[in-house]
């Protein structure tokens, strides 16, 4: 039997029951695909359910404030996905008369939708036979066909896309794409793949040549830069200073305390003593927060200052004055969320 038939039969019997399956609303398919970019199903499912509950239609999402969407996205990471999700909802709602684009090429024009997501939506929601090439598919194809190309090179994706176009099931393209991904996620895993229970183990080239553990080949590893950030929890009575991140940097459009960033670990506290003439800042917490490409060394410092100084610091940091009661309304990156949960519980 063909790869095609075997994997679809396996999928029909073994597919997981997930909340975005067995319905074909392109809005919900899109929403699920954006949430699942670079994100495990276990982590994304709760977010998907909350988004569907809060924004059941594209129109409702389009009419929401970006800040509300970022708040609901808080903790999921890669926040450009949330910003683009909102932008595209607005675009479809106002420029495309609320009608979701229904083919691969039109979908790809939308902000936040690239090759993979356009193919996933086109195949699942509109039955178009275009292959969705994600990390799972790279791994399954590389092993099954013994492909030794470097998957970190962009042109390799074109090779896999063309291969996928040739073998994708013409009658059930959406199920085919999902079947390959499901196989990669549950059987053909990066380490310790369960080849014994693989539906295509009779014809897998890597298995026959005992090369499963060597494939796929991925060359580049990214380098991590260190940053030293000092978060200043400055309060006056029940008021606190927070600042929206508007620079081209991580966590764009999220909020945090006023920050002093220093070039090294050592050169630290003397720097900001000058900001405070009444009381010293107390060190509340130190932690290392890992991003995919940065290692953030974060310190939280707290000071309760008088009114005059509060205003001065508010201007100094170009920050906003808010009351502690409303502090949890704003979207925050993970380190801020954790700090606020412990110091300002609600």
The residues, ordered by sequence, that sit 6+ positions from 100 with a Cβ below 8 Å of its Cβ are 26, 27, 30, 58, 92, 125
Q: Is residue 333 a contact point for DNA (CB under 7 A)?
A: yes
Q: Does 24 bind DNA (CB under 7 A)?
A: no
Q: Which part of the chain contacts DNA (CB under 7 A), choosing from 50-58, 128-136, 235-243, 273-281?
A: 128-136
Q: Which residues 38-67 are close enough to bind DNA by CB under 7 A?
A: 38-43
Whose Cβ is closer to DNA: residue 160's or residue 310's?
A: 160
13 near DNA, rule: CB under 7 A:
no
DSSP string, 142-184: HHHTT--SBTTSHHHHHHHHHHHHHHS-SS-HHHHHHHHHHHH
CA distance 66 to 102: 25
Find the shortest distance in angstroms from Cβ 41 to DNA: 6
Between CA 339 and CA 242 the distance in angstroms is 13
Catalytic residue list contains 33 = yes
Residue choice 8, 27, 32, 147 for contact with DNA (CB under 7 A) = 32
Question: Nearest CA to 122 among 30, 59, 17?
Answer: 30
Locate the DSSP E strands across the chain: 225-236, 239-244, 255-256, 259-262, 282-290, 294-304, 320-323
Nearest to 167 by CA among 132, 197, 202, 210: 132
Selected binder of DNA within 28, 86, 139, 172 (CB under 7 A): 139
Contact map string, positions 71 to 100, toward DNA, x by CB under 7 A: ----xxxxxx---x----------------
Give me the residues that bind DNA (CB under 7 A), please. 18, 21, 32-33, 36-43, 75-80, 84, 110-118, 120, 134-136, 138-139, 153-155, 178, 181-182, 184-185, 190-192, 218, 220-222, 225, 248-252, 289-294, 333-335
Query: Which amino acids are annotated catalytic?
Result: 33
């Amino acid at each position: 039997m063909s790869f095609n038939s075997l994997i679809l039969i396996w999928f029909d019997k073994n597919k997981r029951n997930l909340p975005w399956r067995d319905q074909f609303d392109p809005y919900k398919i899109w929403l699920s695909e954006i949430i699942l970019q670079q994100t495990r199903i276990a982590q994304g499912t709760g977010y998907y359910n909350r988004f569907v509950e809060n924004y059941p239609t594209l129109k409702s999402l389009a009419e929401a404030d970006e800040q509300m969407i970022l708040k609901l996205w808080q903790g999921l990471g890669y926040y450009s996905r949330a910003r683009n999700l909102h932008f595209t909802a607005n675009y479809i709602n106002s420029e495309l008369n609320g009608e979701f684009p229904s083919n691969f090429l039109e979908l790809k024009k939308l902000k936040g939708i690239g090759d993979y997501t356009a193919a996933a939506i086109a195949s699942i929601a509109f039955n178009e036979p275009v292959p969705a090439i994600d990390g799972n598919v790279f791994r399954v194809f590389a092993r099954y066909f013994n492909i030794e190309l470097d998957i970190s090179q962009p042109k390799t994706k074109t090779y896999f896309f063309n291969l996928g176009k040739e073998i994708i099931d013409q009658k059930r393209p959406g199920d085919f794409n999902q079947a390959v991904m499901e196989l990669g996620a549950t059987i053909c895993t990066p380490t310790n793949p369960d080849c014994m229970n693989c539906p295509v183990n009779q014809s897998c080239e890597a298995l026959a040549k005992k090369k499963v553990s060597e494939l796929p080949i991925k060359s580049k590893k990214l380098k991590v830069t260190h940053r030293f950030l000092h978060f200043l929890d400055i309060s006056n009575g029940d008021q606190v200073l927070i600042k929206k991140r508007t620079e081209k940097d991580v966590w764009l459009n999220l909020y945090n305390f006023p920050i002093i960033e220093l070039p090294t670990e050592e050169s630290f506290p003397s720097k900001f003593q000058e900001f405070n003439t009444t009381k010293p800042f107390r060190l509340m917490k130190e932690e290392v927060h890992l991003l995919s490409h940065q290692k953030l060394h974060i310190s939280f410092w707290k000071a309760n200052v008088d009114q005059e100084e509060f205003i001065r610091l508010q201007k100094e940091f170009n920050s906003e004055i808010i009351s502690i009661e409303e502090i949890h309304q704003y979207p925050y990156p993970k380190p801020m969320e954790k700090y606020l949960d412990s110091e300002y519980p609600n």
